A and B are shown apart, each in its own frame.
Chain A
Amino acid sequence: MAWFKEWLNPSLLVLSNGKIVQPKRSPSVIIVPTLIFLVLASAVITEVDLWVLLKRGYQFFVIIGRMIPPDWAYTSTVLKPLIATIMISIIGTLLGAFLSLPLAFLSAENIIKNKWILNINRGFFSIFRTLPVLVYALIFRFVFGPGAFAGTLAIALFTWTIMTKMMYELIETVDMGPFEAIESSGATRLRAFWTAVIPQILGQYISMILYNFEMNVRSAAILGYVGAGGIGMLMNEKLALREYDRLGLILLFLLLTVYAIESTSRLIRERLN
């Protein structure tokens, strides 16, 4: 237990010049018990049951095993909703990205000097940003009925909120020299923004759109679960019917699509930067 005592109360050290110092207590004295407490409390709240995991955990791999080999004959049915999923994310991303530009303009500290406009805009968007896509989709499904339209709107709204933040943070880092030069020559703020700021951020704007598109393909894939179009509906159905070989095919296609989109997008983004 000597190390434990030393850990709690480090003993005095004598330096070579005869000075006696008290070493600082390690921060882990506080961190470790807090962490243990948090883990135990969370385990109680979330009803962690390791016994069930030990007893039934292998089932997860049984399900994966049943997906192999996938049911290739099912390909023709999968393709259409898969394309729909991609289209939902394309339209949603573009819509959100376009809308984000004016709002980012209105939320950038170096462009808009009115504190009220800034804070209202930012507060509004930071509240909307917290809601996950699926919650939006769920709500829109009730308003517009089931189908891809609700999903597209959900993706667009989500992209709008997140891209607005990314964009105004970006706008705040640009070189303001050209902007001030143009403004002082008599141009309006909007005109100066268009001529001086847009060229500086365009590359990163496109790269952000691509990044959001990557994320959105992944979320669009699950929108179907709440009836908002795309491949998720099919996925949910196959899981409920336990047709794991068909589910395997869906997941394989999804994996390939996301992987292909991510690689292309990364390639373009690397060239842009």
Chain B
Amino acid sequence: MSEKILLKYKQAPKTWILNWAIVLSLIFVVYLSLPYIEYNGIFEQGSKIALNIVKGIFKPNLALLVDFSSKDAVPYLMLETVAIAFLGTLFGAILAIPLAFLASRNIVSKPVTHSTTFLIAMIRTLPAFVYGLMFIRVTGPGPFTGVLTLGVSSIGMIAKLYVEFIEDLDKGIIEALDASGCNTIQKIRYGVIPQLMGNFVSTTLYRFEINVKNATILGLIGAGGIGGPIMFALGGYRWNDLGALLIGLVVIVLLIEAMSVRLRKKLATGQ
């Protein structure tokens, strides 16, 4: 028995050369990149600031955290963040539908598919932040800019995922409807929409989750939501306010995540 095992050991492919090559090349890459990561030591008072931030989180500004009337308090900022993400996602999802159909191989011809896929890839590549910086020049600071930014930056991913579902459409159902004499609108209503609806909604919910996170960073450029006050609290050394805001951010992201996961599970299992 043990001889058999030893034999197997000897016959095992020798991978150590490859493994060492990978490790060495990783070390080489790290060595190359070190000059770019200029470490200047901890900023003067840096450790004190870090300590203050931690203290602030454990001793948040309660007045700010539970004030339900003021527009500058955490509850309203959380609401605003979710509202921006919600409208932005919806906006992006609606814009993504025509693009997705134009990029599906079973719907349109090859040249159209290729050019639309390229357009979708382009939209997807740029970070949401870049769109935000551009939109702020158009509609000025405010939550509406956040909505537009999230909308445009969501198109790429949503459309890409939609395409996969459209390409998976079961043609048999549509042919059956055709055979029983349905017109085009009926075919779409009873053949296409029921097949796509669940997956589309599930994808959109997933993107909504991501967008709630994105909405928090949009505030940094003045596009509404909880990000702006976070930046100001840090800049103004208001640690207790920062603690309250960070708690709000964590709560809102966790809540939306839990809700979205539950809804998506429901959609997937159909109950």
Determine if A127 and B250 form an interchain contact, defined as CB atoms under 8 angstroms apart: yes
By a CB distance below 8 angstroms, the chain A residues around B216 are 132, 135
Determine if A143 and B49 form an interchain contact, defined as CB atoms under 8 angstroms apart: yes
Q: A88-B37, A147-B40, A222-B130 are in contact. Are A42 and B139 (CB under 8 A)?
A: no
Chain B residues with a Cβ closer than 8 Å to the other chain, count: 62
By a CB distance below 8 angstroms, the chain B residues around A38 are 86
In order of increasing CB-CB distance, the 5 nearest A-B pairs are: A87-B33, A130-B253, A145-B43, A42-B83, A46-B143
Q: List 6 A-B contacts (CB under 8 A).
A: A94-B30, A131-B246, A134-B217, A139-B53, A139-B234, A143-B49
Complex CA gap A90/B49 in Å reads 28
Determine if B37 and A53 form an interchain contact, defined as CB atoms under 8 angstroms apart: no
Chain A residues with a Cβ closer than 8 Å to the other chain, count: 59
Q: Mark B40-82, 1 if CB is under 8 A from A, else 0.
A: 1011001101100100000000000000000000000001100
Q: Mark A202-224, 1 if CB is under 8 A from B, else 0.
A: 00000000000000001101100
Determine if B130 and A251 form an interchain contact, defined as CB atoms under 8 angstroms apart: yes
By a CB distance below 8 angstroms, the chain B residues around A235 are 130, 133
**Chain B residue nearest in CB terms to A215:** B127
A190 interface hit (Cβ, 8 Å) = no
**Chain B residue nearest in CB terms to A56:** B138
Determine if B249 and A83 form an interchain contact, defined as CB atoms under 8 angstroms apart: no
Say how far B236's CB is from chain A's closest CB, in angstroms: 11
A125 interface hit (Cβ, 8 Å) = no
Determine if A259 and B83 form an interchain contact, defined as CB atoms under 8 angstroms apart: no
B165 interface hit (Cβ, 8 Å) = no
Say how far B52's CB is from chain A's closest CB, in angstroms: 10
B166 interface hit (Cβ, 8 Å) = no
B interface residues with partner A (beta carbon < 8 Å): 26, 29-30, 32-34, 36-40, 42-43, 46-47, 49-50, 53, 79-80, 83-84, 86-87, 90, 121-122, 125-127, 129-130, 133-135, 137-140, 142-144, 146-148, 213-214, 216-217, 220-221, 224, 227, 230-231, 234, 246, 249-250, 253-254, 257
Number of A-B contacts (CB under 8 A): 160
Contacts A135-B230, A144-B43 known; list 4 others, CB within 8 Å. A49-B139, A60-B134, A148-B36, A222-B127
CB-contacts of A100-135 with B (<8 A)? 126-127, 130-132, 134-135
By a CB distance below 8 angstroms, the chain A residues around B79 are 45
Q: Main SS of chain A's interface residues?
A: helix
By a CB distance below 8 angstroms, the chain A residues around B36 are 83-84, 87-88, 148, 229
Say how far A120's CB is from chain B's closest CB, in angstroms: 16
Say how far A78's CB is from chain B's closest CB, in angstroms: 15
By a CB distance below 8 angstroms, the chain B residues around A148 are 36-38
Q: A60-B134, A222-B130 are in contact. Are A46 and B224 (CB under 8 A)?
A: yes
A29 interface hit (Cβ, 8 Å) = no
Complex CA gap A134/B217 in Å reads 7
**Which has the most chain A C-beta neighbours within 10 Å: B39, B143, B231?**
B39
Complex CA gap A79/B87 in Å reads 37
Determine if A46 and B137 form an interchain contact, defined as CB atoms under 8 angstroms apart: no
Determine if A221 and B254 form an interchain contact, defined as CB atoms under 8 angstroms apart: no
A59 interface hit (Cβ, 8 Å) = yes
